[in-house]
Amino acid sequence: MDKLLTMRAFRRVVETSSFTRAAQALATTAGSVSKLVAQLEQGLGTPLLLRSTRKMHLTEAGRVYYAYCVRILDELDEADGAVQQLMESPRGTVRVSVPTSFGMLWLGQRIPAFLRSHPDISLDVVANDHYVDMVDEGFDLALRIGRGLPDSGMVARPLGEIPHVVVGSPAYFEAMGTPATPADLAHHHCLVYTLSRNPGSWRFGQGADAAQVPVRGNYRCNNSAMLRAALAEGIGLAQTPRVMVDDLLASRQLRSCLDAYAPVPHRIYALLPQQGMVAPKVRAFIDFVGEQCSRMSLSQEAAAPGAA
């Protein structure tokens, strides 16, 4: 039997003192209501109602059970209402995993605008550079950057593209010269990001012209923000997502080189733990990041060499 259905029928009979009126409230027949109450009594092994031709009374067990029915069904209705409210508008907590440097240098600057525009949403942001178990660790989504993603069973939604650039400080170029081709990197100090798929080589070109060029240097690190600091100090060159150095390029603390050999851009992905409906709070955050990525692309196009 459907326990909740029998409980609702029993409660309605008690509150209306009538099988007929209970049936009307439940949009069914009096016979169906009577059968539901009988099923409930049979399952409990005790009568809940004493019936006569004119009246009905609750037994002692009926009074106890009715009180629990009211509490359980009211709490269930409240739970349904709370979830419906969450699904009707963006509200609640969004737990999101983001790459550390990307979060520090790009996303963190934009989060205040999101929170101002969505006052009913709270963010729980965890910055790390490793793939997380989204289900076990309770994440609503993760933001990841790459040219492709491993088959993890997650649902991936691309949000935008991030070009990669080779950059160095004016002081470095003055001291060491500017590489004219990727092959010239053999004579340069290259700062290596060790969490990339191929930390010992940099990718250049696209399509049939794509190539992996070996690089080496005296500084390897698993954090882009730390490499950025070394770049600004003239320690070497680095191939890095443009978002990590946009401000340093704009202020001329860094310059790019080998732009004609730019590789296929990386993408920003929103990873979701499963297919299906996406809560409004999560959708709102994904849409916000996607919008910010679009603005970033437009600003980078405007700043590109030769742009009008």
Residue 11's pLDDT is 93
Instruction: Specify if 17 maps to a domain.
Output: yes
Residue 130's pLDDT is 77
Structure token pair of residue 15: 């509150």
pLDDT of 282 strictly over 80: yes
Instruction: Specify if 76 maps to a domain.
Output: yes
| Per-residue exposure over 134-150, b if at least 16 CB sit within 10 Å of its own CB, e if not | beeeebbbbbbbeeeee
Tell which of 73, 88, 103 closes a domain.
88
pLDDT of 302 strictly over 60: no
Are residue 175 and residue 187 in the same domain, yes or no?
yes
Pairing between strand 92-98 and 141-146?
Answer: parallel
Instruction: Specify if 97 maps to a domain.
Output: yes
CATH number, domain of 68, equals 1.10.10.10
Q: Where is average pLDDT lowest: 125-134, 194-203, 296-305?
A: 296-305
Instruction: Specify if 14 maps to a domain.
Output: yes
Residue 237 has what DSSP assignment?
A: B
Are residue 219 and residue 295 in the same domain, yes or no?
no
Instruction: Specify if 75 maps to a domain.
Output: yes
pLDDT of 152 strictly over 60: no
50-92: pLDDT as tens digits = 887 678 889 999 999 999 999 999 999 888 877 777 667 788 8
Task: Name the residue range of residue 17's domain.
Answer: 3-88
Task: Report, as an integer, the average pLDDT of 260-279.
Answer: 83
Are residue 154 and residue 272 in the same domain, yes or no?
yes
Q: What is the pTM of this model?
A: 0.66
Number of domains in the chain: 3
Are residue 168 and residue 236 in the same domain, yes or no?
yes
- Residue that wins the pLDDT comparison between 207 and 202: 202
Task: Report, as an integer, the average pLDDT of 183-195.
Answer: 92
Residue type, 170: P
Are residue 254 and residue 168 in the same domain, yes or no?
yes
Tell which of 88, 113, 146 closes a domain.
88
Are residue 179 and residue 257 in the same domain, yes or no?
yes
Instruction: Specify if 307 maps to a domain.
Output: no
- Residue that wins the pLDDT comparison between 197 and 203: 203
Are residue 151 and residue 276 in the same domain, yes or no?
yes
Instruction: Specify if 308 maps to a domain.
Output: no
| Sheet with 255-257, edge to edge strand ranges | 238-241, 164-168, 255-257
Show Cβ contacts of residue 260 under 8 Å, excluding neighbours closer than 6 positions.
Answer: none
Task: Identify the band that residue 253 occupies on the pLDDT scale cut at 50, 70 and 90.
Answer: very high
CATH number, domain of 189, equals 3.40.190.10
Are residue 242 and residue 185 in the same domain, yes or no?
yes
Instruction: Specify if 111 maps to a domain.
Output: yes
